[in-house]
Chains A and B, each alone.
Chain A
Amino acid sequence: MKTIFGYIGRALITFLQELSSIYYLFLETVAQSIVLFTDRKKLRQARLLEHIDEIGARSLLLVLAVSVLLGIALTVLVSFQLKELGALSYIPGFVAVAVFREMGPLITALIIAGRVGAAFTARIGTMKVSEEILALETMAINPVRFLVVHRFIGLIVSLPALTILADFTALIGGFLFGSLRLGIPADTYLRETLDVLMFKDLYSGIVKAVVYSVVIVMVGCYRGLAVDGGAEDVGRSTMLSVVSSTLAIIVFDTVMTAAFYG
């Protein structure tokens, strides 16, 4: 029994310590982002557009492919029940609400956590192992400004944009299935969708995406910077990065959905 409590206690302390480290990393990142925007030369050197391209544009196809399938799957699921009730006209509204309020932001964030967050950890962790980060510090170059800030800005711009695109692509998926397979007239589908959707549905998704991008960058970069050992620790940290950012995204999702619509 004592061992169990000891284990839980230690795990809790480690968790709180990591949480506090991530919080300080976040504060430092915000401070260094401000520094970057006040220095034109460093801003040019940071090549932010390249990073937005690397993080966002290169994930676009994957996100769009998943979203269109998500839209179809949601429509199939809902139609199964609503057809019985003869209430097919509720499908567009239901799919639109589910996508904009919940599934679009969540699925996009989970894809990016797996694709981009894991890459952040692996990249920074490998740099830690090969003493590149120590070399930066020895050259009086702030590793957070050099390694975290452009990823932070890149993702904060990319993820909301990807989320909006994913939302509309999922709607198109639903629309295609609804009109071609279920026979809902195109104009009815569009009207029903627009009737139900509110501006709040769109901006709540954007707010969520901003929060998720902070989570993904902070967890991914923190795990990379915390690598202490060799290749094995890089692998372990990358796995932990995906697991913890996925968990954190779902926790934040629940809290924010409750706050917006609860």
Chain B
Amino acid sequence: MLTVRDIKKYYGSHKVLDGVSLRVEQKKITYIFGTSGGGKSTLLKILIGALRPDSGEVCFGDTVLTGLADRQLDPFRKRIGMLFQHGALLNSMTVGENVALPISEHTTLDDSIIKIMVKMKLDLVGLRDFEDLYPGQISGGMQKRVALARALALDPEVVFFDEPTSGLDPIVASVITKLIADLNRLLGITCVVVTHAVEEAMKIADKIVILYMGKVLAEGSPQEIRASTDPVVQQFITGSPDGPISFHATSKDYREDLLVG
């Protein structure tokens, strides 16, 4: 459904993505892991068309997204939903208005029907009673659930999740993980999740892609990833502080750095 071919992206002279290729299968849950600063968020922004790669292409079905002008991306954007890390709800609008926004913008439906749809979407995330509150009046976890309801407003084919469970308590985190699984199993929505949370991914992912130093280090089912003998992959999934991935983000010699400056 979504194919990424040899994507490269630089920030100045810093290479963030160095030839990333992957496939997102239709109606499957794909998890993308990586170290912090490893290019996950950049890849996600490229996938949703918010950022252009320096080379390579992203295809949605038969359409090459990377070749399209900004406005030509709109039909694609109406077919996807995106859950931002901090929700990115519009603070000047109520919860209900936030969820209604994509529907009222892109359909000619009557306000009374939109109101019913908003209630249904909010019920999906368990927040039907919070329609009239503003984002600032509800907790971070609730904001994420509202943002998910908004992402689902136009019944998208693919939903992208940026760190959906970071900063949440374990119960809300598992609620969100279960929601992702339900969306996929019950509604057949393709899910692409960028996260650090290995355990939740192992539970519900159909496919896991591990990004390391701007490249795809490993990809496969949770079983295949668990069975990998690559020490870097093993360090990723066990979260061990000891291993080939260094805690220090510098390549300079420590003694030289202290003495020479």
Q: Please give the residue numbers on chain A whose beta carbons come within 8 Å of chain B beta carbons, in ascending order.
A: 41, 45, 127, 130-132, 134-141
Interface centre among B77, B78, B88, B108 (most CB of A within 10 A): B88
CB of B106 within 8 A of chain A?
A: yes
CB of B124 within 8 A of chain A?
A: no
Considering the complex, give the chain A residue whose CB is closest to the CB of B80.
A138
Contact of A45 (CB < 8 Å), options: B89, B104, B108:
B104
CB of B90 within 8 A of chain A?
A: yes
Contact B50 A141 (CB under 8 A): no
Given A131-B86, A135-B82, 15 extra CB contacts under 8 A: A41-B108, A130-B91, A131-B84, A132-B89, A132-B90, A132-B91, A134-B88, A135-B89, A137-B77, A138-B77, A139-B101, A139-B150, A140-B73, A140-B77, A140-B106
Q: Which of B40-75 contact A (CB under 8 A)?
A: 48, 50, 73-75
Q: Which residues of B contact A130 (CB under 8 A)?
A: 86, 88, 91
- 24 pairs from A and B in contact (CB 8 Å cutoff): A41-B104, A41-B108, A45-B104, A127-B90, A127-B91, A130-B86, A131-B85, A131-B88, A132-B88, A132-B90, A134-B50, A134-B84, A135-B82, A135-B88, A135-B89, A135-B90, A136-B90, A138-B48, A139-B77, A140-B73, A140-B78, A140-B102, A140-B105, A141-B105
Within the assembled complex, what's the spacing in Å between the Cα atoms of A137 and B85?
16
Within the assembled complex, what's the spacing in Å between the Cα atoms of A139 and B85?
16
Within the assembled complex, what's the spacing in Å between the Cα atoms of A109 and B84?
39
* Nearest 4 Cβ contacts at the A-B interface: A135-B88, A140-B77, A131-B88, A140-B74
Q: Which residues of A contact B88 (CB under 8 A)?
A: 130-132, 134-135
Contact with A along B222-250 (1 / 0, CB 8 A): 00000000000000000000000000000
Shortest CB–CB separation between residue B52 and chain A, in angstroms? 13
Q: Which residues of A contact B74 (CB under 8 A)?
A: 140
Interface centre among A45, A134, A135 (most CB of B within 10 A): A135
Q: Which residues of B contact A137 (CB under 8 A)?
A: 50, 77
Within the assembled complex, what's the spacing in Å between the Cα atoms of A136 and B84?
11
Contact A138 B106 (CB under 8 A): no
Considering the complex, give the chain A residue whose CB is closest to the CB of B107.
A41
Q: Which residues of A contact B104 (CB under 8 A)?
A: 41, 45
Shortest CB–CB separation between residue A124 and chain B, in angstroms? 11
Within the assembled complex, what's the spacing in Å between the Cα atoms of A139 and B147?
12
Q: Which residues of B contact A132 (CB under 8 A)?
A: 88-91
Within the assembled complex, what's the spacing in Å between the Cα atoms of A72 and B153?
58
Within the assembled complex, what's the spacing in Å between the Cα atoms of A136 and B85?
15
Contact of B105 (CB < 8 Å), options: A127, A135, A138, A139:
A139
Within the assembled complex, what's the spacing in Å between the Cα atoms of A137 and B75?
12
Contact A141 B91 (CB under 8 A): no
Considering the complex, give the chain B residue whose CB is closest to the CB of A133.
B88
Within the assembled complex, what's the spacing in Å between the Cα atoms of A130 and B88?
6
Considering the complex, give the chain A residue whose CB is closest to the CB of B108.
A41
Shortest CB–CB separation between residue A231 and chain B, in angstroms? 14
Within the assembled complex, what's the spacing in Å between the Cα atoms of A139 and B84?
12
Shortest CB–CB separation between residue B183 and chain A, in angstroms? 17
Q: Which residues of A contact B106 (CB under 8 A)?
A: 140
Q: Which residues of B contact A140 (CB under 8 A)?
A: 73-75, 77-78, 102, 105-106
Contact B84 A135 (CB under 8 A): yes
Considering the complex, give the chain A residue whose CB is closest to the CB of B162.
A131
Within the assembled complex, what's the spacing in Å between the Cα atoms of A224 and B38?
29
Q: Which residues of B contact A134 (CB under 8 A)?
A: 50, 84, 88
Within the assembled complex, what's the spacing in Å between the Cα atoms of A41 and B114?
13
Within the assembled complex, what's the spacing in Å between the Cα atoms of A134 and B73?
14
Q: Which residues of A contact B80 (CB under 8 A)?
A: 138
Q: Which residues of B contact A138 (CB under 8 A)?
A: 48, 50, 77, 80, 82
Shortest CB–CB separation between residue B109 and chain A, in angstroms? 10
Within the assembled complex, what's the spacing in Å between the Cα atoms of A137 and B101?
12
Q: Which residues of B contact A127 (CB under 8 A)?
A: 90-91
Q: Which residues of B contact A139 (CB under 8 A)?
A: 77, 101-102, 105, 150
Interface centre among A130, A131, A132, A140 (most CB of B within 10 A): A140
Considering the complex, give the chain A residue whose CB is closest to the CB of B160.
A138
Considering the complex, give the chain A residue whose CB is closest to the CB of B48.
A138
Considering the complex, give the chain A residue whose CB is closest to the CB of B98.
A135
Q: Which residues of A contact B105 (CB under 8 A)?
A: 139-141
Shortest CB–CB separation between residue A147 and chain B, in angstroms? 10
Considering the complex, give the chain A residue whose CB is closest to the CB of B71.
A142
Q: Which residues of A contact B75 (CB under 8 A)?
A: 140
Within the assembled complex, what's the spacing in Å between the Cα atoms of A138 and B75?
11
Considering the complex, give the chain A residue whose CB is closest to the CB of B153.
A139
Within the assembled complex, what's the spacing in Å between the Cα atoms of A147 and B117?
25
Q: Which of B180-228 contact A (CB under 8 A)?
A: none
Shortest CB–CB separation between residue A97 and chain B, in angstroms? 43
